[in-house]
Amino acid sequence: MTFNILFFGDVVGAVGRKALAACLPELRTQYASDLVVANVENLAHGAGVTAQTLQDLLAAGVDVFTGGNHSWDNPLGAPLFEDEAWNTKLVVPMNYGGAKSGQASLLIEKNSAKILIVNLMGRMFTHPDTTSPFEKLSEILATSIATEAQAILVDLHAEATGEKEAFGYFADGKVAAVLGTHTHVATADARLLPQGTAYVTDVGRCGFHQSVIGYDPKTVIPNFLAQNKQKYEIPRTGTAEVNGVAITVDLDTGRAVGLDRIRKFVDVLA
């Protein structure tokens, strides 16, 4: 039996939420998706989450949310990671040095299949207190929920391409997918690794297209020219890109048998 998963990279602000919501119905049909996962660390105006912005994505058809170093940035959203009801849908990288509350893995039951969603943070160029995602994965794989799962999907939230590829080969054959997030820039290396793990270095953002990682270039460039920091702004309307992957998993082996790159452009009017 096979199981189809759609996964989307960092959703950045309202424009990203709207673009993903606009694309999702057609993509869910096209790929006959059983489960939809999205990284939401930048969901609420670029920083963290709120109950309302998560509800927006639930209404759009997303089932599970992963996160990253920005997950706890919004004071309205931070308590959700301690909330029992929300923790049926939320995972965050708890090996991140700045992690607050939450869970690094979550066993989901959907369409009669048990899928373990894991969220890990890379160590290179991130918080100095971040612990090894390699060791954390081994720990998680040794737990009973990993044994119970028919497939395991890992969102590896990391900066360095080399660390991400090394992790991919480390995890190859142990999990169904290693999907990179955090850089907001889609990479063109999506592939099935030799032992059957679907891999991509960075899925890329769901966010503004003509932007610097989702933010208005006019507000980003001054930070590179001067010492005084300026707040990054997210354009509210215009063309957005939606980057994701569609993975088909063989539930008998827990390995991926199909991997498709998704890249859509959506005009967000208001």
Catalytic residues: 70
With tokens 């966010």, the residue in question is 207
Sign of CA pseudo-dihedral 31, 37, 249, 260: positive
Distance CA 139, CA 206 (A): 31
Q: Residues in the site for Fe ion, rule: CB under 5 A?
A: 10, 41-42, 68-69, 182
Residues 150, 113 contacting (CB under 8 angstroms): yes
- Measured from the CB atom, the residue of 121 and 151 that comes closer to Fe ion is 121
Residues 88, 114 contacting (CB under 8 angstroms): no
CB of 145 to Fe ion, least distance (A): 25
Written as six digits, the tokens of 42 are 């930048």
CB of 10 to Fe ion, least distance (A): 4
Sign of CA pseudo-dihedral 132, 245, 200, 212: negative
Torsion of CA 38, 194, 31, 149, to 10 degrees: -60
Q: What's the Rg (C-alpha) of the chain?
A: 17
CB of 257 to Fe ion, least distance (A): 29
- Measured from the CB atom, the residue of 10 and 202 that comes closer to Fe ion is 10
**Phi, psi for residue 30 in degrees, rounded to 5:** -55, -45
Residues 156, 93 contacting (CB under 8 angstroms): no
Distance CA 183, CA 73 (A): 17
Total count of residues recorded for the chain = 270
CB of 101 to Fe ion, least distance (A): 18
CB of 184 to Fe ion, least distance (A): 6
- Measured from the CB atom, the residue of 174 and 182 that comes closer to Fe ion is 182
Angle at 141 between CA 115 and CA 180, to 5 degrees: 65
CB of 9 to Fe ion, least distance (A): 8
- Measured from the CB atom, the residue of 141 and 186 that comes closer to Fe ion is 186
- Among candidates 75, 73, 18, 76, which has minimal Cα distance to 52? 76
- Measured from the CB atom, the residue of 245 and 256 that comes closer to Fe ion is 245
- Measured from the CB atom, the residue of 41 and 172 that comes closer to Fe ion is 41
